[in-house]
Every structure is written in C-alpha cells, then in structure tokens.
C-alpha cells in the first residue's frame, strides 16, 4: 500500500505534467506567439526594401520607399531546440495521447532532450519605415515595437517527473533561465557605396524599454537521499510596469504578496514607456572580390538598455529538507493545502529596487552570394546568436530568382534547432508603386488536425517564422533613369 506522501507526490507529478503538456502545446502549435528573429531568407532578397534589417549594407533598389504602418514589416517567430508538437501529444485510436502515457513515449520524449534546452518566441512590428537615396548614400528610418522571450529548461526536470527517483539521485535544474523583454526601437541607418566593390552600412538605434525579466544566475538542485534536499539559489532582475512587490523590513516577500498597481494616470503610462533608455548599433559590409561574387557580413543588436523605472532585483538562497508530511486526521481535507503553504513560506525571496543593465542578444551573419546569370543567384549564410554566453548556430542555403523586374523569389534550406527539415520561401511583388512580400524560413511539411476545432497544426516543426511587408516604392526603373541622363539628339560630327 502506498504511503500518503507517495500518493500526494504522484498526484502532484500528474498535475505538473498536464500543465507542462498544455504549455508546450500552446507554444509549439503557434497559439503562444507572445513575442523577432530576422528571416535568414531575407538576407539575399534584393527585391525587399527592408533587407537592410539583416545587413545594413543592403541597399534598396528603389530611390524611395514608404512602409505602410504596422505591417511593413510584421514578423513572428517561434523556435524550440528539442521538441515539436508531435513529441508532446498526438492523436491515436480516436484519443489524444500525451508524452507521459506510456513508458515507450516517455523514453522517446527524454531522448529528444539535452541537458539544457531552449524556447524562443519573438514578435516585431514597424510603426513607420521609410528610406530614400541621395547620391551614393541611402538613408533609412524605422520605429519598431519588439517583444521577445527566450527561455532555457533542464532535461533533468522531465527526468524527475517521468522516471521518478531512487535514493542518492541528484537532479540538476541549474540551466533554468529566462530573458523576456519588450521595447520600442528608433533606428536611423546609412548605406554608403564606397566604390564598385565595397558597400558599408550602419544603423544607430535608440531603445525605450517597457518590461523585462532576466535571470542572472541559477543554482537549483534536488537531492533524494533518505530525506529530500532542495537547494535554490538564484538572482534575477525584473522591470514590471503595473506590478507592485511589497516587502517586509528585511526586504523579503513571497509570490502571494505580489499585487497589481491601481489608479495609474497618463503620466505613469508615459513614464513606463520612456523612462528606461538604451542604445544599440548594427553594422554591415558588402565586398565584391570578383565579378558575380559578393561576400557579406553583419553584426546586429550590439547594445543595451538601462532599466531605472519599476525595477526589482530578486534573489533567493534557501535549502529545504523534506522528510514527509504529518497527517492530522482532524484536518485531512487540508493536508495538501498545508503542504503548499509550507513551501510558499519556505521559499521566500529577497528584493531590492536598484537600476540595472540588460544586453540585447548579438547576432553575427556571414554570407556569400554568387550571381550565376542576371536572373539567378545562389547564397550561403551562417547565423550565430550569442545569448548569455551561449552560442546558437544556423546555416542556410538559398536560390534567388528575378525573372522580371516586378518579381523576386527565393527558396531556402536551413539547419536550425537540431532539425534538418527547414525549407523556406520568399516572394516579393511590385505591381506599380506597391511592394508586397511574404517570407518564411520554415514551410510546415506535416500537419495534424486538432479534433475539437478542426484546425491543422504543424506537428513536426521545431521552428516557425513569418514575415509580411507592404511598401510604397518610387524611382525603381533604373533604365528610365539612365535614359533621362542621355541627350535626345546626338551629333554625328
């Protein structure tokens, strides 16, 4: 017969696993687009004015472009290093199966996980975007709202919940971390043609931080000897507008103490939107060593935000020893509630409210494009993201087509998030003074139908992104421009 402790822990595990399954389903199926990685395929799409967002040395083809507010461009991205929807749940024999239902499913699930695993979601939309050419210099201006979430989670977390524990086991959860940020970015850029071989690009950016959560250090372990020992030591910074964390005289609080701020006025909202400022820069270069070959490099998001308003510096350093639950028959209905109250009162947090600095995730692009003929080129691109001392690498191949001046198209194949089934497509159209483009680096190849709603879900994909843009463009016909410079009548003498 199972003890009360074993029954409580078994039920606790099932509840946690159901919450985890729901969370991953929402995130991986695309319903959780809360937060923007720039598209790899955009790097060599010359027909898209905003291609300078991935390399400031990219110069738009048209002398003037004006982006339609909110949709020029609009982009969403979601990526996961280890899991797809089909690894979390699937439909079988007229019922939904979850990753913990059978031992085989549990083993397959754990085999997909590493020691540290990542989830990223990003969203960006331009409030305005325009640019123009003057001589050999192209000027660009953008006001963009950006929201991003990057989280890391340990494989040992699932190992504990799925496989249980034996005496002497140690589960390391120290890779748990989060970086969530929302900010507005004003950018002014310059692309300069030094000569026929060399182009240089720069974008200076002023940042206005809205909200942020950033873990600085995490040391979290569970040791299951005769008694269980939980060690939790971490530090995190947060800027949470509209949230108040009251503390006692020693600066301590529990999660149940957190409350929302009320009676906010217009000046409060303005301060939330503008009080946390930062700076960043993007750099880019194009170099043509020989005809038809272009080498390109860019370094993006080199910058920081200084957080001063609504800041919290949260830390915890506790050790909890669990040696069972005392059962009181007179209060048997509240045993589990009392246990949770004990945890809440044990895992207290310390808080101060000092300013702090967070850094953007820097990205390095290295690429090469070869122009086979005037209408066709091929490209190779490496993308490296540096985030909290960790490096994430992507590699992409692309074929780019320009059948007529009104159409540009690209096909790509990418290796990312430890997956090898990422095929992308980009289409750009220019009917008259309009430019419309659609881009994705990940065309879903497999779908499952959600039974209650009938909505198809890309169930084998670990990363999805989508970019849409709509611009007004002028001065794109280079041949006409050249003819205007020619005299109407030539002398033959």
The distance from CA 446 to its chain's CA centroid, rounded to whole angstroms, is 23
User: Is the confidence at residue 20, as pLDDT, over 50?
Assistant: no
CA distances to 318, 340, 409 from 337, in Å: 21, 5, 60
Confidence (pLDDT) at 336: 57
Tokens 């809360």 found at: 34
* Per-residue pLDDT reduced to its tens digit, 407-447: 899 999 988 766 777 888 999 999 989 999 999 888 877 76
Q: Which three-class secondary structure string do you get for the chain?
A: CCCHHHHHHHHHHHHHHHHHHHHHHHHHCCCCCCCCCCCCHHHHCCCCHHHHHCCCCCCCCCCEEEECCCCCCEEEEEEECCCCHHHHEEEECCEEEECCCCHHHHHHHHHHCCCEEEEEEEEEEEEEEEEEEECCEEEEEEEEEEEEEEEEEEHHHHHHHHHCCCCCEEEECCCCEEEEEEEEEEEEEEEEECCCCEEEEEEEEEEEEEEEEEEEEEEEEEEECCCEEEEEEEEEEEECCCEECCCCCCCEECHHHCEECCCCCHHHHHHHHHCEEEEEEEEEEEEEEECCEEEEEEEEEEEEEEECCCEEEEEEEEEEEECCCCCCHHHHHHHHHHHHHHHHHHCCEEEECCCEEEECCEEEEEEEEEEEECCEEEEEEEEEEEECCEEEEEEEEEEEEEEECCEEEEEEEEEECCEEEEEEEEEEECCCCEEEEEEECCCCCCCEECCCCCCEECCCCCEEEEEEEEEEEECCCHHHHHHHCCCCCCCCC
CA distances to 43, 49, 198, 285, 301 from 56, in Å: 10, 11, 13, 7, 12
Confidence (pLDDT) at 484: 44
Across 260-265, average pLDDT: 77
Instruction: Give whichever of 96-105, 159-168, 419-428 has the largest mean pLDDT.
Output: 419-428
Instruction: Give whichever of 42-46, 92-96, 304-308 has the largest mean pLDDT.
Output: 304-308
Q: How far apart (Å, rounded) are the C-alpha atoms in residues 301 and 358?
A: 12
Question: Whole-number mean pLDDT of the chain?
Answer: 80
Q: Which residues of 9-27 are buried (b: 16+ CB within 10 A; e: fewer)?
A: beeeeeeebeebbeebbeb
The token pair at 479 is 């041949």
Confidence (pLDDT) at 69: 87
Output phi, psi for 72, to 5 deg. -140, 85
Confidence (pLDDT) at 295: 96
Confidence (pLDDT) at 74: 86
Confidence (pLDDT) at 310: 86
Across 334-342, average pLDDT: 61
* Per-residue pLDDT reduced to its tens digit, 180-192: 899 999 999 999 9
The distance from CA 53 to its chain's CA centroid, rounded to whole angstroms, is 16
Ramachandran category for residue 323: left, alpha or beta (phi over 0 → left; psi -120 to 50 → alpha): alpha
Confidence (pLDDT) at 417: 65
Across 8-25, average pLDDT: 47
User: Is the confidence at residue 133, as pLDDT, over 90?
Assistant: yes
Q: How confident is the model at residue 263 (pLDDT cuts 50, 70, 90)?
A: confident
Least confident of 57-66, 72-81, 291-300, 473-482: 473-482
Rounded to two decimals, the pTM is 0.78
Confidence (pLDDT) at 130: 93
Least confident of 30-39, 44-53, 68-77, 355-364: 30-39
Q: How confident is the model at residue 450 (pLDDT cuts 50, 70, 90)?
A: low
Across 318-325, average pLDDT: 71
**Which residue has better confidence, 490 or 153?**
153
User: Is the confidence at residue 226, as pLDDT, over 60?
Assistant: yes
Across 146-160, average pLDDT: 85
Give me the helix-helix angle, 155-163 and 103-112, nearest 10°: 170
Output phi, psi for 82, to 5 deg. -130, -25
Question: Do the Cβ atoms of 228 and 164 come closer than 8 Å?
Answer: no
Across 199-214, average pLDDT: 94
Give me the helix-helix angle, 4-28 and 155-163, nearest 10°: 140
Q: How confident is the model at residue 327 (pLDDT cuts 50, 70, 90)?
A: low
Of residues 142, 126, 123, 127, the one with CA closest to residue 203 = 142
User: Is the confidence at residue 247, as pLDDT, over 50?
Assistant: yes
Q: How confident is the model at residue 487 (pLDDT cuts 50, 70, 90)?
A: very low
Q: How confident is the model at residue 264 (pLDDT cuts 50, 70, 90)?
A: confident
Least confident of 161-175, 337-351, 427-441: 337-351
Confidence (pLDDT) at 36: 40
**Which residue has better confidence, 226 or 365?**
365
Q: How many other C-beta atoms can be found within 10 angstroms of the C-beta atom of residue 219?
A: 15
User: Is the confidence at residue 365, as pLDDT, over 90?
Assistant: yes
Confidence (pLDDT) at 401: 92
Confidence (pLDDT) at 117: 84
Confidence (pLDDT) at 461: 75
Across 115-134, average pLDDT: 88
For the chain, give the percent of residues with pLDDT over 70: 78
Q: How many other C-beta atoms can be found within 10 angstroms of the C-beta atom of residue 486?
A: 7
Q: How confident is the model at residue 481 (pLDDT cuts 50, 70, 90)?
A: very low
Ramachandran category for residue 324: left, alpha or beta (phi over 0 → left; psi -120 to 50 → alpha): left
Q: How confident is the model at residue 33 (pLDDT cuts 50, 70, 90)?
A: very low
């Amino acid at each position: 017969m199972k003890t009360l402790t074993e029954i409580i822990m078994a039920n606790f595990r099932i509840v946690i696993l159901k919450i985890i399954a729901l969370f991953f389903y929402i995130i991986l199926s695309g319903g959780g687009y809360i937060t923007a990685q720039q598209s790899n395929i955009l790097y060599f799409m010359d027909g898209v004015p905003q291609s300078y967002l991935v390399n400031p040395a990219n110069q738009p083809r048209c002398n003037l472009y004006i982006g339609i507010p909110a949709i020029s461009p609009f982009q969403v991205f979601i990526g996961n290093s280890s899991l797809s929807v089909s690894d979390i749940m699937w439909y079988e024999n007229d019922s939904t199966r979850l990753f913990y239902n059978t031992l085989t499913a549990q083993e397959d699930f754990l085999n997909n996980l590493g020691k540290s695993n990542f989830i990223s979601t990003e969203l960006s939309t331009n409030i305005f975007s325009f640019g123009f050419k003057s001589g050999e210099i192209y000027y660009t201006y953008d006001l963009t709202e950006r929201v991003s979430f990057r989280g890391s989670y340990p494989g040992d977390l699932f190992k504990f919940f799925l496989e249980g524990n034996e005496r002497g086991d140690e589960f390391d959860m120290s890779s748990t971390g989060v970086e969530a940020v929302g900010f507005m970015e004003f950018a002014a850029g310059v692309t300069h043609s030094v000569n026929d071989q060399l182009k240089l690009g720069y974008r200076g950016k002023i940042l206005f931080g809205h909200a942020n959560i950033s873990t600085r250090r995490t040391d979290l372990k569970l040791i299951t000897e005769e008694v269980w020992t939980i060690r939790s030591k971490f530090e995190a910074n947060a800027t949470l507008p509209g949230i108040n964390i009251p503390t006692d005289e020693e600066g301590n609080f529990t999660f149940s103490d957190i409350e929302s701020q009320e009676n906010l006025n217009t000046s409060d909202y303005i301060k939330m939107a503008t009080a946390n400022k930062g700076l960043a820069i993007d750099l880019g270069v194009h170099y043509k060593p020989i005809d038809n070959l272009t080498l390109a490099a860019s370094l993006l998001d080199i910058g920081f935000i200084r957080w001063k308003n609504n800041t919290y510096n949260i830390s915890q350093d506790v050790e909890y020893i669990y040696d069972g639950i005392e059962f009181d028959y007179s209060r048997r209905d509240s045993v589990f509630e009392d246990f949770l109250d004990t945890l809440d009162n044990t895992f207290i947090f310390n808080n101060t409210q000092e300013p702090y600095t967070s850094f953007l995730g820097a990205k390095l692009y290295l690429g090469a494009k070869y122009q086979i003929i005037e209408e066709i080129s091929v490209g190779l691109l490496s993308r490296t993201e540096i985030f909290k001392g960790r490096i994430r690498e992507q590699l992409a191949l692309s074929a780019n087509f320009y059948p007529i001046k009104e159409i540009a198209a690209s096909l790509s194949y990418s290796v990312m998030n430890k997956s090898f089934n990422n095929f992308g497509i980009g289409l750009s159209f220019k009917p008259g003074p309009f430019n419309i483009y659609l881009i994705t680096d990940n065309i879903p190849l497999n779908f499952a139908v959600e039974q209650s709603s009938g909505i198809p879900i890309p169930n084998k994909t670990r990363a999805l992104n989508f970019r849409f843009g709509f611009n007004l463009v002028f001065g794109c016909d280079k041949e006409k421009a050249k003819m205007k410079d020619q005299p109407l009548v030539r002398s033959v003498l």
